[in-house]
A and B are shown apart, each in its own frame.
Chain A
Amino acid sequence: QSVLTQPPSASGTPGQGVTVSCSGSSSNIGSNTVNWYQLLPGTAPKLLIYRNNQRPLGVPDRFSGSKSGTSASLAITGLQSEDEADYYCAAWDDSLNGPVFGGGTKLTVL
């Protein structure tokens, strides 16, 4: 069981938008920033969002993040077929002295 809670699946049609939620606690999301990763088979996790809402260079602005209290969200607009992947949230946990992850959300583009 993962420390952060995500829905196991999400779906949308091309062009639509979708939101993935991530819930934590005061020791992680409540007191630290949230990152979001995209996982594709055979590749290392790709950082999509860091510091709650910042995009690394090269990440399209279709991806955005937000945080409120002990929860965070990843929003993807204008869905494309290549967005079909697993998405994970992560945050530093002060009680563990390490990062904790959500269980992952499998996004299907119908």
Chain B
Amino acid sequence: QLQLQESGPGLVKSSETLSLTCTISGGSISSSTYSWGWIRQTPGKGLEWIGNIYYNGATYYNPSLNSRVTISADTSKNQFSLKLRSVTAADTAIYYCSYLVGAATTDYWGQGTLVTVSS
């Protein structure tokens, strides 16, 4: 059974960079042609797609965050990561890593990690 687990600081200072990692177990990041992604949940905006990465390294980002986001993968560790630069209070959210969200099949979500941006 595929499982995803987010890790990273729960508190980030305003204007700094939010960094999270998703560790995959029960599957391999490099063996699937589908995308692995990051999604966040905020009180004001609900669920928001951040971006995806494919097994070949191709990435796609939400245009509203594109200039501040980088998603990368480390196949040797079976992990993929999120970096969100120049954060503000509006970036305070629960961040989920995900697999197969949007595909015509059942999908997988991590348990989510709350990241708070402090001033």
Contacts and interface: CB of A to CB of B under 8 A. Distances in A.
A45 interface: yes
B47 A44 contact: no
B55 interface: no
A47 interface: yes
Interface residues of B, number: 27
Contact of A103 (B46, B61, B103): B46
Contacts of B102: 32, 35, 90-93, 98-99
Interface of B: 35, 37, 39, 41, 45-49, 51-52, 60-63, 96, 101-107, 109-112
Nearest to A3: B49
Interface of A: 2, 32-33, 35, 37, 39, 44-45, 47, 50-51, 56, 86, 88, 90-93, 96-104
Contacts, number: 69
Given A44-B111, A96-B63, A51 B45 contact: no
Contacts of A39: 41, 47
Contact of A50 (B37, B45, B48, B106): B106
A100 B63 CA distance: 12
B62 A96 contact: yes
Given A47-B106, A50-B104, A90-B102, A99 B49 contact: yes
B106 A101 contact: no
Contacts of B62: 96, 98
A97 B47 contact: no
7 contacts: A35-B101, A39-B41, A39-B47, A88-B46, A98-B62, A99-B49, A101-B47
A92 B100 CA distance: 10
A98 B112 contact: no
A92 B110 CA distance: 19
Contacts of B39: 99
Contact of B60 (A32, A91, A98, A104): A98
